[in-house]
A and B are shown apart, each in its own frame.
Chain A
Amino acid sequence: MAKGSKMKLFSFLVVIVFLLIFLSIFFKNGKLQNIIFDVASIPEKAFFLIGDIFSSGFKIIFSLKNVVIENSSLRLENDTLVQKLVDFEKVKSENILLREQLSLSLTKSYNLLDVKITSFEPSNLFEFLIINKGKNDGLEKDMPVILTGNILVGKITDVYDDYSKVMLITDSNNKVNVISFSNQEDIESQNRSYSGVLSGYFGKSIFMDLIEKSSLVNQKDMIITSGLDGIYPENLIVGYVDVIKDDDNAVFKQAYLNPAFLPLDSTLAFVIR
């Protein structure tokens, strides 16, 4: 092909794409996306199934060696947890009685809608996923998405008829107001919980900023939502502290977290309505 005609074809394609960009900015209805998500969901299901078979197969092979060691440590952990459970039940019943006396309601229960994750963001620049429910199921923008066990995944950013786009908490544009979780031991030792603001970081990690300099931040601290941002309800598990950054010249402490929702083993999630 001659150089001139190569350039002509390139220019023609660029003009078409520019037209598409401007059309998409001014006429955004999402019908096309909805149809393509419908078509794509069939092969994606097959790919997910293949992936699950392979990953579970590999997991079994690689984990055989560690089974004995893991088993003994799990037994030990189980004994400790049983003891904690007994203590917890005592505190729980005491708490119910006290709440009854004070006429306070119990913890808020969420109105949940179960959804399936159909696909992920293809590029490494952003962190999105697509779920199989949309406008027709009553979903709206900014609704939080969680996993079993109140683990925060992200929030809905775009809603189509039968699908929605979810911005993960690992996306750099997603800001979440958080606090550290304090258990009974922390309260007894007067370890105050600390707050901060989270935003995603590249490579499936999260960055927590604006932590008060005097706060005691430890590795593996559990970070939960504070509910102050008005989007995410309080007490959703966000992640665990991995690396702590405490520069002498900095005004605040910072930390890198491992998100609790990763690795994403299941495609089942819930939207809080």
Chain B
Amino acid sequence: MKIFIFFFTLSLAIFFQVSLMQKIDFYGVAPNLPLVIVFFLIFFSDNYKKTMFSAMFLGLLFDIFSGVIFGVFTLTFIVTAFLAFVLSDTIVSRDNILILFFISICGTLFYALFSVLLIYIFSFFNTDNLKIFLNFIFFRNIIFEAILNSLLIFVLSPLKRFVK
């Protein structure tokens, strides 16, 4: 029952992302709630298995609503979650909010760049698919998204007792 409620909440997060979240974007950039949830689980639940399966589930739903090749975001979510776990494991203290801020910023930047790389690879190295991302606005937007995601983790941090 607990598992069912947990995955139902994750689904709600995706439905929220594809509906309301896109209407409350900041200068064309909306925070990535599913990615925020993955980071949140990494920082506060400390359950590797649960986090990885959540990342996969969120990625699959993300892919269904997205316009790219199916599986690209699932793979990105899993790899980002794994690397964020490795990074947070090597850091001694997780209680320092600045460290969590740093990991979520690095994680979001990696997530955006890795998904662009995968799109390039799965479009069979079509350079047009790479060129459209190599501009100032794209990099400005991903930095902005990284900051928004980190702030959202900070805002949601009082909910950490529910995932422990």
A residues contacting B by CB (< 8 A) are 1, 6, 9-10, 13-14, 16-18, 20-21, 24-25, 32-33, 36-37, 40, 43-44, 47-48, 50-51, 55, 119-126, 128, 130, 157-158, 165, 167, 171-173, 201-205, 264
Number of A-B contacts (CB under 8 A): 142
* In the complex, chain B residues whose CB is within 8 Å of the CB of A17: 56, 59, 71, 74-75, 78
Q: Tell me, yes or no, whether B154 is within 8 Å of chain A by CB.
A: no
Given A122-B62, A124-B141: A40 in contact with B15 (beta carbons within 8 A): yes
Q: Are A124 and B52 in contact (CB under 8 A)?
A: no
Task: Indicate whether A123 sits within 8 Å of B62 (C-beta atoms), given known contacts A17-B75, A202-B137.
Answer: yes
Q: A202-B138, A203-B28, A203-B137 are in contact. Are A21 and B72 (CB under 8 A)?
A: yes
Chain B residues near A204 (CB, 8 Å)? 25, 28
Q: Is the interface of B mostly helix, strand, loop or mixed?
A: helix
B interface residues with partner A (beta carbon < 8 Å)? 11-12, 14-25, 27-30, 32, 34, 48-49, 52-53, 56, 59-62, 64-75, 78-79, 82, 85, 112, 115-116, 119, 122, 132-133, 135, 137-138, 140-142, 145
Which residues from chain A contact B24 at a C-beta distance below 8 Å?
Answer: 51
Which residues in A have their C-beta under 8 angstroms from that of B65?
40, 119, 121-122, 130
How far is A32 from B30 in the complex, measured between Cα atoms in Å?
27
Q: Is the CB of A24 within 8 A of B69?
A: yes
Partner of A33, one of B23, B53, B64: B64
